[in-house]
Amino acid sequence: MKDKVTITLNGFQEDVARGATVSSLIKYFNELDKDLIVERNGRFVYPGEYSETVVDDGDRLEFINPNFGG
């Protein structure tokens, strides 16, 4: 069994630890925006579910920064 899974994060393929949660990925990728929005496979993930939402091989995640300015 491999110890990594491949996900797509914001359009880029990333190999991450098997069993990684949304919460651990937010920390790993240094997402500091307190208003961060997360989608997993096109569905909104509530902030209260970040620590229990485990990513699977082939998942598509989007980290959306609503305060990104423009």
The predicted pLDDT at position 69 comes to 62
Surface-to-core class of residue 62, CB atoms within 10 Å of its CB (0-12 exposed, 13-18 middle, 19+ buried): middle
pLDDT for the residue 1: 60
Q: What are the structural domains of the chain?
A: 4-64 (3.10.20.30)
The tens place of each residue's pLDDT in the chain, 70 residues long, gives 689 999 999 999 999 999 999 999 999 999 988 899 999 999 999 999 999 999 999 999 999 998 766 5
Query: Could you tell me if 41 and 12 are in contact, meaning their C-beta atoms sit under 8 angstroms apart?
Result: no
Res 67: pLDDT:
75
